[in-house]
Amino acid sequence: SAVISQKPSRDICQRGTSLTIQCQVDSQVTMMFWYRQQPGQSLTLIATANQGSEATYESGFVIDKFPISRPNLTFSTLTVSNMSPEDSSIYLCSVMGSGELFFGEGSRLTVL
């Protein structure tokens, strides 16, 4: 299984600011995924990050709000832009390996 590191692990942010979350994987992977887990809820896929091409966003998520970079096969970033309290969530990076999806520890954002 892949080892996935996320930074920051948690942060408290002010309304209207933006925060970038980093995801580092210990092996090269074709696809990386970004999920959101709102308080008390399950996981929702935000987008799929492909190396060398634009990210593919799920319904309800847009690039202006959640820009994603994928500069190489081991790294991706997710930016949460112009944050509001409704963006308070855990953001999780994940990768597919051997047909299974593995997750990082998550980045817990609190927006005041």
| CB of residue 77 to another protein, shortest distance in Å | 17
Interface positions, 9-48, toward another protein (CB under 8 A): 31, 33, 41-45, 48
Interatomic CA distance for residues 82 and 6, integer angstroms: 21
Question: Which residue, 80 or 90, has its beta carbon nearer to another protein?
Answer: 90
Question: Which residue, 26 or 105, has its beta carbon nearer to another protein?
Answer: 105
State which amino acid sits at residue 21.
Answer: I
- Is it true that the peptide bond before 8 is cis, omega within 30 degrees of 0? yes
- Judged by the rule CB under 8 A, the positions of this chain that interact with another protein are 1, 4, 31, 33, 41-45, 48, 58, 92, 94, 96, 99-106, 108
